[in-house]
Amino acid sequence: MKIKAIALNTFKEAIRDRILYLLLFFAAAALIFSRVLALLTVGDRVKIIMDVGLASLSLFGVLMAILMGTGLVYKEIDKKTIYTLLSKPIHRYQFLLGKFFGLLITLFVMLFLMCLIFMIIIFLHNFTIEWKMFIAFFFIFLEMVLVTAVALLFSCFSTPILSSIFTLSFFLIGRTSWGLETLIKKMPSGLGKITAQIIYTILPDLENLNYKTEVVHNLPIPVDLVLFSTLYGIAYSVFVLTLAILIFRRRDFI
C-alpha cells in the first residue's frame, strides 16, 4: 500500500510536468511529418510511415524516461522532502519502487497517446490496422522501463545533468553493442576474446528489444524470440533496479 501511495503521488506530480507535453507535441509533429514524408517519397508509403513513426515513438519515449527519471530522487533531496518521507515508517526500497512505478504509469499514458496518434495516421492512410505494431509498441515500452530503471539508478548518487548523460550513454551503448558481438566473432581465441565476451555479456543489448524492422517489413516473428526478449528486458530491469535499491539504502542523508 505504501508503494502504491508513493506511485500515485509520483504520477500526479509527473503528469503536471510541462516537459512531458512538450515532448508529446514534438512526437506528434514527427508522426505527422512521417505522413508528409511518405507522400513525397517514391516507394511503399505505409512502410515509410511505420519506419519513421516507430523510430519516433522509441526516441521520444526514451527521452521522456531519461528526462523524468533522472530527477526522481534528486528533486526530493533538493527540496529536502526526502527527510520528511524517510522519517515516516517507509522503507527506502518502498520509496524507490513507488517512484519507479509512478513514473512507469506516466510513461505508459504518454506512450499510449503517441501510439494512438500513430495508429490514426496509419488508419487514415490505408484504412487498416497492422496488428504486428502492438509487438513493437510492447517492446518500446519495455525499453522505456529499462531506461527508467537506469535513470533511477544514476539519480540515486548523481545530479540530473550527469545522470542524463550517463543514461543516454547507456542507451547509445545498448543500441550499438551488437557491433561488439560481430567483432568477437572475428577475434582470434585468447584472453582478448574472453575479455570482450565478458564485456559484451555485461553491457546491455537493446537490439533484443528492437522489433521495428520485423514489423515494418512484415517479417515472421518467432514466439520463442519474443519470449526471450521479454525475459531479457525484465531481468535486466530488475537487475538495475536492485542495484539502485542497494545504493540508495547505503546513502547517508544526514
Q: Alpha-carbon distance 137 to 154, whole Å?
A: 26
pLDDT band at 43 (very low <50, low <70, confident <90, very high): low
Taking 90 as the threshold, does the pLDDT of residue 101 lie above it?
yes
User: What is the three-class DSSP state of 253?
Assistant: coil
**Nearest 5 degrees, angle CA 135-CA 139-CA 144?**
150
Average of per-residue pLDDT across 207-223: 87
> What does DSSP assign to residue 208?
G
pLDDT per position as a tens digit, 113-163: 999 999 988 888 777 777 888 999 999 999 999 999 999 999 888 888 898
pLDDT at residue 63, as a whole number: 92
Are the C-beta atoms of residues 6 and 95 closer than 8 Å to each other? yes
Q: Residue 188: which region, alpha, beta or left (left: phi > 0; alpha: psi -120 to 50)?
A: beta
Q: Pick the most confident of 14-18, 128-132, 228-232, 249-253.
A: 228-232
pLDDT per position as a tens digit, 49-83: 888 889 999 999 999 999 888 887 777 777 777 76
Q: Alpha-carbon distance 143 to 247, whole Å?
A: 23
Taking 90 as the threshold, does the pLDDT of residue 234 lie above it?
yes
* Helical ranges in the chain per DSSP H: 2-14, 18-40, 45-69, 72-78, 81-86, 92-126, 133-155, 160-176, 178-186, 191-202, 212-216, 223-250
pLDDT per position as a tens digit, 172-214: 888 887 777 777 777 777 777 777 777 777 778 888 898 888 8
How many domains does the chain contain in total? 1
Q: Which domain holds residue 198?
A: 2-250
pLDDT at residue 145, as a whole number: 95
Taking 90 as the threshold, does the pLDDT of residue 243 lie above it?
yes
Residues counted in the chain: 254
pLDDT at residue 61, as a whole number: 92
pLDDT at residue 253, as a whole number: 59
Higher pLDDT, 106 or 156: 106
